[in-house]
């Protein structure tokens, strides 16, 4: 891009993510760098369906932190390729306290992949899924329900948008 004011050097640009990881392992880089989850190019906004607001970005970030914490505690973080929440924009009724509450549905996308071209959903223990759901609906304001995306790639893509 001309507007950068300098020459952009991207030596690994032509490689797929799995190939970059192989190179990292060959170079002896620590697993925490080689297996680091991919951050979406467009940023976290790509994981928010519909209008992106500060409040929804905060919800996405908070749900993401819960997922990363629980996946790390249970030793599943190093077993999966990616794990993240999607703010679906879908409304759902719930009960909080003594009254009805209308909040947003959060979808969990937790996938395994060897080649990045195909993925499968991670077959997590029910106890971990329950922990993730419970923490997200109780700790993230405005969230009323959590669902688990079990769609493979193909036909789906890794991200929803």
Asked if pLDDT for residue 40 goes beyond 70, the answer is no
Q: What digits encode the pLDDT tens for the residues 82-114?
A: 999 999 999 999 998 899 999 999 999 999 998
| The pTM of the whole model exceeds 0.95 | no
1-5, 12-16, 33-37, 154-158: segment of lowest average pLDDT: 1-5
Asked if pLDDT for residue 2 goes beyond 80, the answer is no
For 8-77, the DSSP string reads ---TTTTS-HHHHHHHHHHTT--HHHHTPPPPPTT-GGGGB-S---HHHHHHHHHHHHHHHHHHHHTT-G
SS3 141: coil
- Cβ partners under 8 Å of residue 119, min gap 6: 81, 111, 112, 113, 152, 153, 158
Q: Which domains does the chain have, with CATH numbers?
A: 1-36 (no CATH), 45-148 (3.30.300.10)
Closest by CA to 85, choosing from 101, 62, 103, is: 62
Average pLDDT for residues 71-83, to the nearest whole number? 94
């Amino acid at each position: 891009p001309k507007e950068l004011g300098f020459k952009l050097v991207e030596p690994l640009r032509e490689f797929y993510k799995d190939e970059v990881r192989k190179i990292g392992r060959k170079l002896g880089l620590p697993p925490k760098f080689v297996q680091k989850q991919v951050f979406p190019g467009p940023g976290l906004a790509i994981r928010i369906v519909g209008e992106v607001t500060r409040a929804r970005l905060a919800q996405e970030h908070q749900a993401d932190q819960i997922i990363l914490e629980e996946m790390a505690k249970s030793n599943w973080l190093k077993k999966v390729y990616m794990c993240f929440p999607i703010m679906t924009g879908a409304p759902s009724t719930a009960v909080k306290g003594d009254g009805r509450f209308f909040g947003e549905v959060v979808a969990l996308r937790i996938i395994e992949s060897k080649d990045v071209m195909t993925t499968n959903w991670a077959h997590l223990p029910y106890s971990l899924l329950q922990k993730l759901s419970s923490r997200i609906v109780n700790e993230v304001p405005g969230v009323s329900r959590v669902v688990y995306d079990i769609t493979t790639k193909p036909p789906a893509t890794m991200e929803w948008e």
